[in-house]
Structure 1
Amino acid sequence: MFEFPLDGSYNARGIGDETAPWLVRSATLDDLSTEGERALRERGVDLVIDLREASEHRARRHSLAVRSLPLYGERPPASGTLETIYRGLIRDRAPQLTAAVIAIAEHPGTAIVHCTAGKDRTGLVVALARLAAGEPRDDVIDDYSRSGISVRPARRALVAEQLDALGLTAGSRADAERLHLDSPAEALAAALDLVERQGGASAYLVRHGARFEHLTALGRRASEAAAARALPTASALPTASARFAADPEPAR
């Protein structure tokens, strides 16, 4: 997993090799600039999987292909706890979560997944895809937990304005701020524990519409990305002259 700046968006991370990730995640791409689009295309990204509801969309500035796969089926919750909302998504929106993972698996290129902040809906879809691909749970949770670092400064003022209008109690306000701004490891861990109780990510996805070939495709991409990372770069490979300088006497 690696972070990279994305002009016109934020909270962008790639999974796999830095030059050719097998999956990318970010916050909304509506304002993605020409430079930002170029940065994605240079990493092989040629499909956007947008998890937002239609009511959240604005005019897009980029020309990447987009698949709209809304998760909630209604306006996203404005308040509540992360754990409760994640539990509801895992329990009640399993077909929608699975459809997003299938879209990642079926796309022959590299997809970027986003919602509004790239934290919650994106976090669950990316976690399920990575776990089904065989990647370590600790790595998946570490990736998720990094979102708050980018999201909080980007959204603090907007969220404060939105929550002011709701007139929440102090406790409910704190929960809502955490919902909109933070990505604590324990929140995703609790959601993944629920998935584990249903047999794990692969079994959960198959139960709700994924097929064996989808899981195989995810695993293959993750394995290829791991192999690419393990290869030395061209600059790290010794040249013939360097090898000769290190061992000038030819073998006899």
Structure 2
Amino acid sequence: MTRWIELDGVVNMRDLGGLPTRDGRLTREGRLIRSDNLQDLSEGDVRRLVDEVGVTDVVDLRSNVEYEITGEGPLRATPLTHHHFSLLAEDQDPDRTVEEALAVRWGRDESTPRDGDFWGRHYTGYLTKRPDSVAAALAAVRDSAGGAVVHCAAGKDRTGTVVGMALSVAGVPEEEIIADYVRTAERLEQIIDRLIRVEPYNRSLPTHSLEEQLPRAESMEAVLTHLDEGYGGAVGWLRASGWTDADVEALRVRLTV
């Protein structure tokens, strides 16, 4: 079972240790941690993550706009290694202002139903439009000195895609990867409550129901199918992105017992 990490400042943090792999191993505790936004961590939360959980690296998947508006967060004051990789295509334009980026991402037509197919297309878009950031985020996990926290805003979509790929490389079966992704539904209402009044999320979240935000199995299945059919799996995708066999093995060793 995956393990929730209960802190004052987050609601969707869990350690991905203890998951079985296809070759009889387990994922290692304290190596890969997924989370929602880390902006509200208390001093006690920070001490626990660093001193007890053993976090050394923070992999931030928020967009440039989110980062600029919501700020660095309390972990930036610690001597951890921080990585920021946006998965949004519009963030590739360095000359775009914050307001222009807000108009592109949060000023668009929001009438498309957010069902499982919508989210599946959204997630595979990260792989096709920002493969650089996805590969770099996985490299940060691979090269971390201790535990790596991967987070975005809700810890569901961008985080779910990256950690799902990491677990796939580790050899975790598809059904276990999907079950972990869907488990975020247990905290979804609390996640939305945290974000719905915060800029820039207050531009979009109030217009959609909780049902539309639910993590559904078919969304993660779409990611894994895309990887399997196009590349023979997550490992093949990473090789196509420039990873060597040694790079892949290093990630697998980092994540498994």
Please confirm whether the aligned pair reaches a TM-score higher than 0.5, indicating the same fold. Answer: yes
- Larger RCO, structure (CA 8 Å, separation 6 or more): 2
Percent identity over the alignment is 31
Q: Which amino acid aligns with 1:52?
A: R
Over the residues paired in the alignment, what is the CA RMSD in angstroms?
2.6
**Secondary structure of the corresponding residue to residue 108 of structure 1:** coil
Structure 1 unaligned blocks of 5 or more: 167-172, 225-252
Instruction: Give the Cα separation in 1 of the matches to 2:121 and 2:169.
Output: 23
The alignment's TM-score, normalised by the length of structure 2, stands at 0.75
1:187 aligns with 2:219: yes
Instruction: Give the Cα separation in 2 of the matches to 1:77 and 1:202.
Output: 30
Instruction: Give the Cα separation in 1 of the matches to 2:244 and 2:223.
Output: 22
The 1:161/1:21 distance shift into structure 2, 3 A limit, reads closer
Match of 2:203 among 162, 169, 172: 162
Instruction: Judge which range, 1-10 or 15-24, deviates more.
Output: 15-24
**Secondary structure of the corresponding residue to residue 197 of structure 1:** helix
1:61 aligns with 2:74: yes
The alignment's TM-score, normalised by the length of structure 1, stands at 0.76
Instruction: Give the Cα separation in 2 of the matches to 1:216 and 1:197.
Output: 22
Contact 2:36/2:154 (8 A) holds in 1: yes
Moved over 6 A (4+): none
**Secondary structure of the corresponding residue to residue 67 of structure 1:** strand
**Secondary structure of the corresponding residue to residue 31 of structure 2:** strand
Instruction: Judge which range, 150-159 or 209-218, deviates more.
Output: 150-159
Q: Which amino acid aligns with 1:218?
A: L
Counterpart of 1:96 in structure 2 is 133
Counterpart of 1:217 in structure 2 is 250
Instruction: Give the Cα separation in 2 of the matches to 1:90 and 1:112.
Output: 20
Contact 1:102/1:210 (8 A) holds in 2: no
Match of 1:45 among 31, 55, 64: 55
**Secondary structure of the corresponding residue to residue 7 of structure 1:** coil
